[in-house]
């Protein structure tokens, strides 16, 4: 028996599509995905969620190693961090950073380790860099695969 878990909205309450951005600076969805989210099927929502999770997982895993996933989960729950347990633990790391990067003194207390190129950077800087790169990946995908299709439909 499988458990049905509907995809929750990726919205983080910082929407920039209302001011004309093609990609939301908050959740990184495309403007049409934000607009039509409530009308999408679960399968459509899952495709969007998987794309976003894949980008974020790649970016966080590039900078961090999860040494102890159970400790990470325990700390996130103890700190009452808002996270999606169905997502990759690397997404949990970003949720942790969003909630309190400046308050983390020792990453080992969270079962984490910074990868070598980032060991001398402050966590708030790393968090901001991940967010910028996440936005850049979403924009690049939009420009390469979505915008050309939109432009083609607007010509008629």
pLDDT at 134 over 80: yes
How far separated are the first and last CA of the chain, in Å rounded?
A: 48
Q: What is the pLDDT of residue 4?
A: 59
Q: Across residues 110-117, what is the average pLDDT?
A: 97
The answer to whether position 5 is within a domain reads: no
> Up-side HSE of residue 150: CA atoms within 13 Å toward CB?
10
Question: What's this model's pTM, rounded to 2 decimal places?
Answer: 0.90
Question: Residue 76 sits in which domain range?
Answer: 50-154
Q: Across residues 132-145, what is the average pLDDT?
A: 96
The answer to whether position 2 is within a domain reads: no
Provide the domain count of the chain: 1
The answer to whether position 131 is within a domain reads: yes
């Amino acid at each position: 028996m499988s458990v049905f878990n509907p995809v929750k909205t990726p919205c983080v309450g910082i929407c920039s599509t209302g001011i004309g951005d093609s990609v939301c600076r908050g959740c990184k969805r495309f403007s049409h995905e934000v607009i039509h989210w409530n009308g999408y099927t679960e399968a459509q929502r899952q495709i969007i969620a998987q794309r976003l999770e894949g980008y974020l997982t790649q970016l966080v895993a590039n900078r961090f190693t999860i040494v102890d996933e159970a400790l990470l989960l325990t700390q996130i729950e103890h700190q009452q961090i808002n996270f999606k347990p169905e997502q990759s633990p690397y997404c949990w790391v970003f949720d942790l950073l969003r909630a309190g990067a400046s308050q983390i003194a020792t990453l080992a207390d969270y079962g984490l380790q910074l990868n070598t190129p980032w060991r001398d950077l402050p966590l708030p800087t790393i968090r901001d860099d991940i967010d910028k790169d996440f936005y850049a990946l979403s924009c690049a995908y939009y420009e390469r695969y979505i915008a050309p299709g939109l432009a083609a439909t607007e010509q008629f």
